[in-house]
Amino acid sequence: VLEINNDRCEELDLHNETLDKHCEPLEEILKRVQFKKIDLESSGLNDESAEALFDMVEYYESAKHVNISRNGNIGTRGWQACSHMIKKTRCLEQFDAKSIVLTQQHMNILKRPLQLVTHLQVLRVQNCRLAGPSLIIL
């Protein structure tokens, strides 16, 4: 049952659901319904699935809050798509990426949009092993 408040459903909860390269069917949902929160925690995102999902969230302005915590297999392409989503998705107010090792390379990718955007109000990066140059970038 989807609860709709102020033209957005409360949450699309995909926490602990395995999302692999075959996540394209989610586009049918995301192009018809917008959410306050999309929870992708521990969903096994990799470069391919992350890139596809971030592109969908950006294109359809699908969520105000996106949680990708505990998805440690996202690589460079996935973080580039994430960076683009953060920059372009004006409705995105909160982004959670907890318990993911964020390398200096990942932080360099995220640096520019995090410096430029004014719509993102909350960024949660606890337990991401941020230290040294990676922390300074943030």
CATH at 15:
3.80.10.10
Structural domain contains residue 15: yes
Structural domain contains residue 114: yes
Structural domain contains residue 61: yes
* Pair 105, 78: CB distance under 8 Å: no
Mean pLDDT of 68-89: 97
pLDDT value at residue 11: 97
- Which one, of 37, 98, 107, lies nearest residue 66 by Cα? 37
Residue by residue, DSSP assigns 32-45 as: T--EEEEE-TTS--
pLDDT(41) > 70: yes
Domain membership of residue 120 as a residue range:
7-137
- 35 falls in which pLDDT band (50, 70, 90)? very high
Mean pLDDT of the chain: 91
Q: How far apart are the first and last CA of the chain?
A: 39
pLDDT(2) > 60: no
Task: Look up residue 43 and give its two tokens.
Answer: 């969903």
Structural domain contains residue 2: no
pLDDT value at residue 4: 54
- Which one, of 80, 81, 97, 86, lies nearest residue 63 by Cα? 86
Task: Look up residue 37 and give its two tokens.
Answer: 């929160």
Structural domain contains residue 108: yes
pLDDT value at residue 6: 63
Instruction: Identify the residue with better confidence: 3 or 112.
Output: 112
pTM: 0.91
pLDDT digits (tens, 9 = 90+) for 97-137: 999 999 999 999 999 999 899 999 999 999 998 877 667 66
Q: Into how many domains does the chain fold?
A: 1
Q: Which residues pair with 65 in a beta bridge?
A: 37, 94
Which residue carries 């941020």 as its tokens?
130
